[in-house]
């Protein structure tokens, strides 16, 4: 390589991006070889497709009332109709978009904010910024989720909250409120990994080779902190979906006639007593299945990204032992 490429201005070779890409390929192929992870991936892909296509897939107008009120599932209405005669299946499909968007959106916001705050705290460990940040996280953590989110989201019902000149709609407020709840988790994960990484000899070695602080943080620390954060995100998305459902169920989330899974559950609440099960069972199932799909991915991601887990697996394979209950960290 050395003799043939002298003089070429840009040597073709694995760049950082390619290295990252090959890391992604490794993770992806590891995921595809696990049946549960594959199920989770396919399931989530399907959900995303449904969310993206939304109204195009719905057989009926989800908001169209009809005289066929509270009809049980039939060929015309696969999941029956609600009190107002709206097609539950269509509402479920349209609701997927909001449920997923709120879940993924709030997790993404929490991941970025919590991750950065946590890394900052970890780098300043033991000093004032660390203490202030992490105590603030404790305060947020201590706040009951189902008080905090409904109150914030409820404030925005019917009229957007103005953050300065920017009006923030109710859905955005809901997403933001849920993300606030999840920030402490990500901050803690990021801080813990930062503390562990900062002790690693390769950080010292990078410094000894003349790396600046910026290099250390963004090129050495961040990529290694990102893995546990991704795992955390995979587990947080379903929680966020549930939170959105709960808040909507309480009536402070998505407002009618818009549909989300929790909102459909809420509408069906009264029907259960009358034995009309379909309006609650289907959204509940959708939530359960979504949570499962994401958890499958999260589990597999953790195993693939955590080198200790990989080492344990290899030891187990080598000794023929079965690793039981090896979940907690």
Residue ranges binding another protein (CB under 8 A): 1-2, 5-9, 11, 13-16, 19, 22-23, 200-202, 204-213, 215, 219-220, 223-224, 307
Select 143 or 202, whichever has its Cβ closest to another protein: 202
Shortest distance in whole angstroms from residue 88 CB to another protein: 47
Select 12 or 144, whichever has its Cβ closest to another protein: 12
Shortest distance in whole angstroms from residue 2 CB to another protein: 3
Shortest distance in whole angstroms from residue 14 CB to another protein: 4
Q: Cβ–Cβ contacts within 10 Å for residue 59, how many?
A: 12
* Assigned token pair, 44: 């989530």
Shortest distance in whole angstroms from residue 185 CB to another protein: 23
> What are phi and psi for residue 84, nearest 5 degrees?
-95, 5
Shortest distance in whole angstroms from residue 131 CB to another protein: 16
Cα 237 from Cα 240, distance rounded (Å) = 5
Cα 217 from Cα 193, distance rounded (Å) = 12
Select 285 or 314, whichever has its Cβ closest to another protein: 314
Cα 196 from Cα 130, distance rounded (Å) = 15
Select 224 or 255, whichever has its Cβ closest to another protein: 224
Cα 30 from Cα 233, distance rounded (Å) = 18
* 30: exposed, middle or buried (Cβ count in 10 Å: 0-12, 13-18, 19+): middle
Select 69 or 204, whichever has its Cβ closest to another protein: 204
């Amino acid at each position: 390589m050395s003799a043939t490429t002298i003089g070429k201005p840009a040597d073709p070779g694995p760049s950082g991006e390619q290295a990252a890409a090959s890391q992604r390929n490794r993770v992806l192929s590891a995921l595809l070889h696990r049946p549960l992870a594959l199920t989770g991936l396919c399931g989530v892909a399907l959900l995303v497709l449904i969310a993206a296509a939304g109204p195009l897939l719905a057989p009926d107008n989800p908001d169209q009332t009809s005289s066929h009120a509270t009809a049980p599932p039939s060929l015309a209405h696969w999941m029956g109709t609600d009190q107002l005669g709206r097609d539950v299946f269509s509402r479920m499909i349209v609701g997927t978009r909001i449920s997923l968007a709120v879940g993924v959106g709030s997790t993404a916001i929490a991941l970025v904010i919590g991750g950065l705050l946590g890394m900052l705290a970890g780098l300043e460990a033991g000093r004032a910024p660390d203490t202030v940040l992490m105590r603030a996280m404790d305060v947020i953590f201590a706040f009951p989720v189902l008080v905090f989110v409904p109150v914030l989201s409820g404030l925005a019902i019917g009229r957007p909250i103005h953050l300065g000149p920017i009006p923030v709609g109710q859905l955005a407020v809901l997403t933001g409120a849920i993300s606030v709840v999840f920030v402490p988790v990500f901050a803690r994960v990021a801080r813990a990994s930062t503390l562990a990484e900062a002790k690693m000899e390769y950080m010292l070695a990078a410094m000894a080779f003349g790396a600046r602080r910026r290099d250390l943080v963004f090129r050495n620390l961040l990529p290694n902190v990102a893995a546990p954060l991704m795992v955390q995100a995979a587990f947080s998305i379903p929680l966020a979906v549930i939170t959105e459902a709960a808040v909507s169920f309480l009536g402070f989330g998505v407002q009618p006639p818009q549909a989300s899974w929790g909102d459909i559950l809420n509408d069906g609440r009264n029907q259960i007593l009358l034995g009309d099960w379909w309006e609650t069972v289907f959204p509940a199932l959708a939530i359960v299945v979504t949570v499962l799909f994401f958890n499958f991915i999260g589990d597999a991601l953790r195993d693939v990204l955590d080198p200790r887990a990989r080492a344990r697996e290899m030891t187990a394979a080598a000794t023929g032992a079965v690793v039981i209950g090896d979940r907690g960290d």
